[in-house]
Amino acid sequence: MDPQMVLLLLAVLGGLGAGTIGYFESNEVFNPRKFVGTIYRSGISALVAFLSFGNASELTVGLCVMALLAGAGVDYTVNTAEKLVSKE
């Protein structure tokens, strides 16, 4: 499988994982409508990972971990920004 495709999938999984953990921590009833935002952010994180690691010719453990963290980081950053903006 192409290394860029694997990194894209890992970034998506990182974003979805961060969103799922956030829902478990919130103790709210699962609302699929709210999870759509997490899916969008995961797509954005995949784009960020592709642009960042797009020239990788081989997969390493470090690249895989960075792609997962990029996905989780994008989801967390956008979630935090949404909370800050909605307080005003």
Q: CB within 8 A of 47, min separation 6: which ones? A: none
Q: Which residue has the higher pLDDT, 84 or 50?
A: 84
* pLDDT score, position 88: 60
Dist CA 23 CA 16 (whole Å):
11
Number of domains making up the chain: 1
pLDDT at 53 over 80: no
pLDDT at 27 over 70: yes
Domain that holds residue 64: 3-86
Nearest-angstrom CA–CA distance, 33 and 88: 23
15, 23, 2: which is closest to 70 by C-alpha? 15
Q: Quick one: pLDDT at residue 82? A: 83
pTM: 0.80
C-alpha 75/C-alpha 3 separation (Å) is 22
